[in-house]
Structure formats: structure tokens, C-alpha cells
């Protein structure tokens, strides 16, 4: 079978949507750091659509480590398929990626792109851990990657170091303004990124730090679209539908949302014409999305994996699980989000649960369970803090925390790894306290990198202990009763 590429586009079935601009003659205006599935299903799609309204806004994608994308797309002119899995499925070819680079192989091309006067925007999806933040959301100067980049500022290995190297070169060359747009599920993502970049620059050169502060915009954003990782089944299904091979398509639900703070240092694509919302205040959207969607996603991931359930759809299809998630939302999550009359919060939450019921999507709970130590602070612990501050109940918010602990203990017992920067350490705690769940719970709750001041809160600790005990015997037979009591 031939490959998907510029010369086979004309052979695709008529119903496949194609880029509505001349891909070959359109050049780059954006650098994206971290081109995982989410970027390719979200910002790259909006940008592809926006280029129908003009502008040289193709994307130079920079992988910090993985060579997969570069290798897979090399033979297909960096074209790939967006496969939308929903009641009305469709396939769309995305031409937005102009170049795909890997940091270890393409350092000079990456710097050239980051410092080009034609580059006006850098977007990032580097996941929570990519920001190298401490438990207060500030740059962790003791992070090994940050310490490396401080010693070798011209050969950075962190995204923060790379941005500072690029900004330093732009300042020296007096290149035009650039806007840096975080697109990760981190609360106040733009402000935190901006502060981390300035803090790192300050370690190298106080004047550069000041220049960044005065000249570079870091808008906050909220991003949303459920995007399971690419798997072989998708590759096969796409080949059957297209009649050509796409080695790295992506799949997504139909729903997609991008809310961006209207704060750009220079020009940008006509994103507002293709569904992106620009606003002065992203905070409310960000908070609602992180707490409602990502908070319940992580809850499903850890509770579901204790019941050997594989996907979000299967988990939410168990009436006991859905009922618990609804109680958690109504009683302890929604009351922490102030929306005034700008948003109908119960309807928003309801629509998210409806999205979980999309039977066309196989979204693995094991994928969502990655990086719990990095995700739970933003998704659950901040909500819990607000409840504590308001002297309100937070029992149910301790369920995902307890389920995470039991998930770690079970993985250790099964001799399996967990994908998490703290994974090895957490598994070693589970091994040390094997057979003593109380001691293990105490040991994890002492991890200040995750829990910060909550480590010292007796009410929080006691409730997590209680939930661990209540859920320790959770299995398919006990599910109804066990979840009914939570
Ligand atoms: C998920 C998110 O993998 C995860 O942790 O919760 O990727 C989620 O699917 C997206 O944020 C939806 O917008």
C-alpha cells in the first residue's frame, strides 16, 4: 500500500477532509514543544483550519526526547490523519506540521526556528512534569534538568532552558516579539510558565530576566479534547479507510475547546475564526475543566484500575461508579468553582459525563493513571484545599487519593512499573511497607513534593486512611456496597 503523502492526497476517498490552503507554499510561524497526540489533535488542528484564512503559520514541532513522530512522519511529508470517533465520525488530513525535530539530533535547526523573525508563537504541551515546578508551583531550581541547564545554558535539556536560550538569542539579535503559549493541564499554566522562565533566566542573567518580564507574553489557556494515544488498531483502521498507509494517525472525540487569554506580544493565526475563544479571564474555564474533567478522569483511572476495568467508557458504564462520580462532583467539586452567571456548571459537568459515555473511543485508564504524583495536585488537591479553607466536607475528594495509593501498592505486588517521575520511589515505599497498608499510606502522605502542607493536616491524613481501609477490599463483588458507602 502506498504511503499518505503530498502525492497521494488526490487518491483519498472524497469524504476525507483535506487542508484548505496550499500546504507546500505555506511556511512556518509557530514552534511547538512536545508534539504528542494531544497537540496533533488540538492546537495543530485549529491552526490547520485557521490557515484557510491565510498566514504562514505552519508548525515546527520539537520533541524533547522521543524520535517516534519524526520517524513515522518522515516518509509522509509530515501529513497525518485526524480520526474523529463519535456519532458522526470523519477523517481529516492535517498539513500543519512543517518540520519535526528531535532535540538530541536537531539542536541548531531548532534554535534557528525559535529565533527566526518569522516565528511569532511558541506553544507547549510538555505535561505537568515538563515544567520542573516545586510543590508551590515555582521553578524547582534543584531539579536535575534545571541544574544541568544552568551549567550548560547553550545545551539545554529542559523546555524551560530551551526557551531561555531562545529568548536570550532573540534579545541579542533584537528579533521581534514572540508569545509563549502553555497548553497543558496546569492551573494558571501561562503565569506559572512565565514565572518559571523568568526565574531560570535570573539564575543566568538578571537583565535577561527583566527583559523577558517586560517583553514576552505568556497567556493562560484552557485546552480540552479527549485524545487516546495512537495504537496499532488505529493505524490499521485508518489504512482501511484511506487506502494508503498513515504510520501515525491520531484519534479524538468530536468535542474540542480552546480558551486563550487575549494577551499576545505579536501576530497570531485567525484562531478566533475556527472556534477558539479569546477572553480576558481564562481562570474560571481552566479551573472548571481541571477540576471537573481531569479530576473525575483521575478518579475513574484509579478506582477503575482497582476493579480491573480498562477504559473510561467501561468505568462510567458501571452505574455504581457513575453514581459515585456524580456525588463527588455535586457535593465537593462544583461548590469550589465560582462562575457567577457566566457558565451553567451542572450542565457543564453533565456534558463531560456524556462525553465519557462515547462508546466509539477506547480511552485507556492506564494512560490517564500516568504521572499521578504530578497530576493529583492540580486535579484533586487544590480542590481539597479550597474545601478545607471553607471548612466544608472533603471526604469524597480523598477517594481518588486513596485509590491512587492502593493502585501503587497493587502494581508493586504484581511486580509492575508505574509511569511517574516519582514511580521508583513510590514503588520502593510500597515494597518497604508491603502487607502494612497503614504504614504505606503514612509514608506516601509524608511526600511533601506531592502533598505540601497537606502532609501536616491530621484531618486530611485520617480521612485518607479511612478511605484506604474502606477501599482495600474493593472488587467486583463488593463494588456496589463499597462505592455506595463512599
Ligand atoms: C487525561 C487528559 O490523560 C489524562 O490525564 O485526563 O489527557 C484529558 O483527556 C484531557 O485533558 C481532555 O481534555
pLDDT in tens, 342-380: 999 999 999 999 999 999 999 999 999 999 999 999 999
Give residue 67 CA to ligand 1 midpoint distance, Å. 23
Query: Which CATH number belongs to the domain containing residue 471 in this structure?
Result: 1.10.1040.10
Q: E-strand spans in 85-175?
A: 90-94, 97-102, 121-124
Give residue 151 CA to ligand 1 midpoint distance, Å. 34
For residue 150, the tally of other CB atoms under 10 A from its CB is 15
The verdict on 246 and 292 lying in the same domain is no
The verdict on 257 and 319 lying in the same domain is no
Domain boundary among 245, 279, 313: 279
The verdict on 241 and 292 lying in the same domain is no
The verdict on 120 and 262 lying in the same domain is yes
What is the mean pLDDT of the segment spanning 24-34? 98
Residue among 348, 335, 336 nearest 289 (CA): 348
For atom 4 of ligand 1, which residue has the closest CA? Answer: 368
The verdict on 385 and 399 lying in the same domain is yes
pLDDT in tens, 66-116: 999 999 999 999 999 999 999 999 999 999 999 999 999 999 999 999 999
Ligand 1 pocket member 314 (CB < 6 A): no
Return mean pLDDT, the chain: 97
Does 251 fall in a domain? yes
| pTM more than 0.75 | yes
**pLDDT score of 389 more than 90:** yes
pLDDT of res. 29? 98
Give residue 227 CA to ligand 1 midpoint distance, Å. 7
pLDDT of res. 138? 98
Q: How many structural domains comprise the chain? A: 2
Does 449 fall in a domain? yes
Does 323 fall in a domain? yes
Residues present in the chain in total:
486
Give the C-alpha separation, 321 to 326, whole Å: 9
Give residue 101 CA to ligand 1 midpoint distance, Å. 25
pLDDT in tens, 139-167: 999 999 999 999 999 999 999 999 999 99
For atom 3 of ligand 1, which residue has the closest CA? Answer: 368
Ligand 1 pocket member 367 (CB < 6 A): yes
Q: What percent of the chain has pLDDT over 90?
A: 99
Give the C-alpha separation, 196 to 124, whole Å: 14
The torsion angle over the Cα atoms of residues 270, 275, 276 and 280, rounded to 10 degrees, is 110
pLDDT of res. 427? 98
Ligand 1 pocket member 225 (CB < 6 A): yes
Ligand 1 pocket member 365 (CB < 6 A): no
The verdict on 411 and 470 lying in the same domain is yes
Ligand 1 atom, smallest distance to 375 CA: 5
Ligand 1 pocket member 297 (CB < 6 A): yes
The verdict on 273 and 377 lying in the same domain is no
Does 4 fall in a domain? no
Domain that holds residue 372: 283-485
pLDDT in tens, 428-453: 999 999 999 999 999 999 999 999 99
Ligand 1 pocket member 374 (CB < 6 A): no
Ligand 1 pocket member 226 (CB < 6 A): yes
Q: Are 224 and 213 in contact (CB under 8 A)?
A: no
Domain boundary among 229, 253, 279: 279
The verdict on 246 and 333 lying in the same domain is no
The verdict on 291 and 250 lying in the same domain is no
Ligand 1 atom, smallest distance to 297 CA: 6
Give residue 133 CA to ligand 1 midpoint distance, Å. 20
Cα–Cα distances in Å, from 26 out to 55, 109, 383?
Answer: 8, 18, 44
Give residue 168 CA to ligand 1 midpoint distance, Å. 33
Ligand 1 pocket member 368 (CB < 6 A): yes
Give residue 380 CA to ligand 1 midpoint distance, Å. 14
User: Up-side HSE of residue 264: CA atoms within 13 Å toward CB?
Assistant: 14
Does 3 fall in a domain? no
For atom 11 of ligand 1, which residue has the closest CA? Answer: 224
For atom 13 of ligand 1, which residue has the closest CA? Answer: 224
For atom 10 of ligand 1, which residue has the closest CA? Answer: 226
Domain boundary among 279, 314, 331: 279
Does 6 fall in a domain? no
What sign does the dihedral 402-405-410-413 (CA atoms) show? negative
Candidate of 229, 293, 372 to mutate for ligand 1, largest count of ligand atoms within 8 Å of Cβ: 293
- 447 by Cβ neighbours in 10 Å (0-12 / 13-18 / 19+) ranks as middle
What is the mean pLDDT of the segment spanning 273-280? 97
The verdict on 204 and 333 lying in the same domain is no
**pLDDT score of 176 more than 90:** no
Helix 189-204 / helix 159-173 crossing angle, nearest 10 deg: 70
Based on its alpha-carbon atoms, the radius of gyration of the chain, rounded to whole angstroms, reads 23
Ligand 1 pocket member 283 (CB < 6 A): no
Residue among 404, 400, 402 nearest 324 (CA): 400
Does 83 fall in a domain? yes
Question: Residue 146: enclosing H or E segment and its boundaries?
Answer: helix 144-151
Ligand 1 atom, smallest distance to 371 CA: 5
Query: Which CATH number belongs to the domain containing residue 66 in this structure?
Result: 3.40.50.720
**pLDDT score of 213 more than 90:** yes
Q: Are 303 and 83 in contact (CB under 8 A)?
A: no
The verdict on 256 and 138 lying in the same domain is yes
Does 2 fall in a domain? no
The verdict on 267 and 356 lying in the same domain is no
Amino acid at each position: 500500500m502506498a504511503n499518505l503523502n503530498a502525492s497521494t492526497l488526490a487518491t483519498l476517498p472524497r469524504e476525507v477532509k483535506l487542508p484548505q490552503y496550499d500546504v507546500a507554499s505555506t511556511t512556518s510561524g509557530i514552534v511547538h514543544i512536545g508534539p504528542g497526540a494531544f497537540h496533533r489533535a488540538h492546537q495543530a488542528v485549529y491552526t490547520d483550519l485557521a490557515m484557510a484564512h491565510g498566514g504562514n503559520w505552519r508548525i515546527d514541532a520539537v520533541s524533547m526526547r522521543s524520535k517516534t513522530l519524526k520517524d513515522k512522519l518522515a516518509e509522509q511529508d509530515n501529513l497525518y490523519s485526524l480520526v474523529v470517533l463519535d456519532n458522526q465520525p470523519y477523517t481529516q488530513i492535517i498539513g500543519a506540521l512543517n518540520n519535526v525535530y528531535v532535540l538530541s539530533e536537531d539542536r541548531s535547526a531548532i534554535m534557528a526556528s525559535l529565533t527566526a523573525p518569522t516565528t511569532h508563537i511558541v506553544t507547549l504541551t510538555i505535561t505537568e512534569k515538563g515544567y520542573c515546578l516545586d510543590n508551590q508551583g515555582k521553578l524547582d531550581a534543584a531539579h536535575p534538568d534545571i541544574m544541568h541547564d544552568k551549567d550548560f545554558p547553550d545545551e539545554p535539556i529542559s523546555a524551560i532552558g530551551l526557551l531561555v536560550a531562545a529568548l536570550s538569542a532573540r534579545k541579542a539579535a533584537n528579533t521581534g516579539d514572540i508569545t509563549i503559549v502553555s497548553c497543558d493541564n496546569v492551573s494558571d499554566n501561562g503565569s506559572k510558565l512565565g514565572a518559571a522562565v523568568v526565574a531560570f533566566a535570573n539564575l543566568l542573567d538578571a537583565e535577561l530576566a527583566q527583559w523577558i518580564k517586560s517583553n514576552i507574553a505568556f497567556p493562560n489557556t484552557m485546552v480540552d479534547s479527549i485524545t487516546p494515544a495512537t495504537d496499532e488498531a488505529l493505524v490499521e483502521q485508518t489504512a482501511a479507510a484511506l487506502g494508503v498507509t498513515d504510520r501515525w494517525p491520531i484519534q479524538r472525540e468530536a468535542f474540542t475547546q480552546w480558551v486563550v487569554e487575549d494577551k499576545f506580544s505579536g501576530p497570531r493565526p485567525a484562531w478566533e475564526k475556527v472556534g477558539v475563544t479569546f477572553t480576558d479571564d481564562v481562570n474560571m474555564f481552566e479551573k472548571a475543566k481541571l477540576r471537573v474533567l481531569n479530576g473525575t478522569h483521575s478518579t475513574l483511572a484509579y478506582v477503575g484500575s482497582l476493579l480491573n476495568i480498562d477504559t473510561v467508557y467501561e468505568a462510567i458504564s458501571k452505574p455504581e461508579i457513575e453514581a459515585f462520580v456524580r456525588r463527588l462532583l455535586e457535593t465537593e467539586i462544583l461548590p469550589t468553582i465560582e462562575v457567577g452567571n457566566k457558565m451553567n456548571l451542572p450542565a457543564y459537568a453533565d456534558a463531560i459525563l456524556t462525553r465519557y459515555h462515547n462508546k466509539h473511543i477506547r480511552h485507556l485508564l492506564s494512560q490517564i493513571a500516568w504521572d499521578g504524583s504530578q497530576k493529583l495536585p492540580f486535579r484533586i488537591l487544590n480542590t481539597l484545599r479550597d474545601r478545607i479553607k471553607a471548612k466544608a466536607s472533603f471526604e469524597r475528594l480523598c477517594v481518588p487519593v486513596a485509590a491512587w495509593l492502593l493502585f501503587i501498592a497493587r502494581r508493586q505486588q504484581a511486580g509492575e512499573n508505574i509511569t511517574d517521575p516519582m514511580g521508583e520511589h513510590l514503588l520502593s515505599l510500597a515494597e518497604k511497607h508491603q502487607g502494612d497498608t497503614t504504614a504505606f499510606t503514612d509514608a506516601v502522605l509524608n511526600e511533601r513534593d506531592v502533598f505540601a502542607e497537606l502532609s501536616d493536616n491530621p484531618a486530611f491524613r485520617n480521612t485518607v486512611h479511612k478511605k484506604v481501609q474502606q477501599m482495600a477490599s474493593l472488587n467486583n463483588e463488593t463494588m456496589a456496597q463499597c462505592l455506595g458507602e463512599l
